[in-house]
Amino acid sequence: MSALRARESEPGVRAEPVASLDARRIRRALAQRARYKYVQPRLLAEGQGWKVVSPNCSRNVDKAGGEIDIAWLAPSDDGGWLLFSRDHAEDCWQLRHHERSLPAVLLHLQQDPSRIFWP
């Protein structure tokens, strides 16, 4: 999918505040992820969605092992969810998945067999 410099004013991102119930669901899903289970990612409100940041234990992105952006989840204006990965080389978000429900989009973030989200 194409690279997007996504902002909260970006077309396709629903203009409603984030919900604490969604945050709990995302945190629970992050605890069940397949990669880097030994690090503790953080969930931050970002625009109309949620940003996942985590220490870069592999040091592929940050040689010092600092915190990096992993994913951005945003509700879409059609009632679904958008899942973006961070393109660290281009310093932008890339749309990876558009699903009808939050649980469906979280599966991509949890499994990540191609290491798109957890580099």
Residue boundaries of the structural domains of the chain: 3-111
How far apart (Å, rounded) are the C-alpha atoms in residues 109 and 84? 10
Q: Cα 49–60–2 angle (5° rounding)?
A: 45
For the chain, the residue count is 119
What pLDDT, on the 0 to 100 scale, is given for residue 36? 79
> DSSP state, 28?
H
Residue 59: both structure tokens together: 């040091």
What pLDDT, on the 0 to 100 scale, is given for residue 5? 44
103 SS3 class? helix
Q: Is the Cα torsion angle 40, 45, 51, 57 positive or negative in sign?
A: negative
pLDDT in 10s for each residue of the chain, 119 residues: 444 444 444 555 554 555 788 999 999 999 999 877 888 999 999 988 999 998 876 667 666 778 889 999 999 999 999 999 999 889 999 999 999 999 999 999 999 988 898 87
What pLDDT, on the 0 to 100 scale, is given for residue 10? 54
What pLDDT, on the 0 to 100 scale, is given for residue 38? 84
What pLDDT, on the 0 to 100 scale, is given for residue 106? 97
From 17, 21, 70, select the one nearest 45 (Cα to Cα). 17
Residue 38: both structure tokens together: 């030994």
